[in-house]
Amino acid sequence: MSRVTKLLHTRYRVNDLERTVKFYRDVLGLEEIKRHKSPRGSELVFLKTPGSEELVEITCFPGSGPVQVQPDLTHLAFEVDNLEAFAQHLSKHGLKFSDGPTTSSSGTTFAFIDAPEGYEIELIEKKPGSH
C-alpha cells in the first residue's frame, strides 16, 4: 500500500513577507532555515521550531493577487512551556492573546494570538506528565 510517510511543511501565503517572517522569528522563536525565489516568482522562506522537523513555509506571490485570510479557516498550533510566561513575552512585543487562556477537561491549557495577515496561532501548554 502506497501512502505518505512524513509531513514536510505547511505553506501560508502572505502579502508582507518580511513583516510575517519577523513575527514568526522574533515573537514565536522560529528559526529561518532557507530562503529562495521559486521559478514562478514566489519569494519563499522556510522556518522551523527547535523541537520539530516540519517546516512552515511563508510565501509571497504578488502575481496571485492579494491574500485574504478567511476567519477560522486554518491555524498553526505550537507547544509552549508556560502560557503565563509567554503572555509576558507577547506584551514586550505589544501583543496579547486574542482568545484564552482556556483549560480543557484534560488539564491542557491553550490560547490564541493573531499573526500578521490574520492567520491564527494556537499556543498549547500541556498538562505536566501528558504527551
- Domains defined along the chain, listed by start: 7-62 (3.10.180.10), 74-131 (3.10.180.10)
pLDDT (0 to 100) of residue 64:
85
The pLDDT tens digits of the residues spanning 10-43 come to 999 999 999 999 999 999 999 999 999 999 889 9
- Percentage of the chain with pLDDT > 90? 70
pLDDT (0 to 100) of residue 130:
63
Centroid of chain to Cα 3: 26
The pLDDT tens digits of the residues spanning 61-89 come to 988 888 888 877 889 999 999 999 999 99
Separation between Cα atoms, residue 110 and residue 130, nearest integer Å: 14
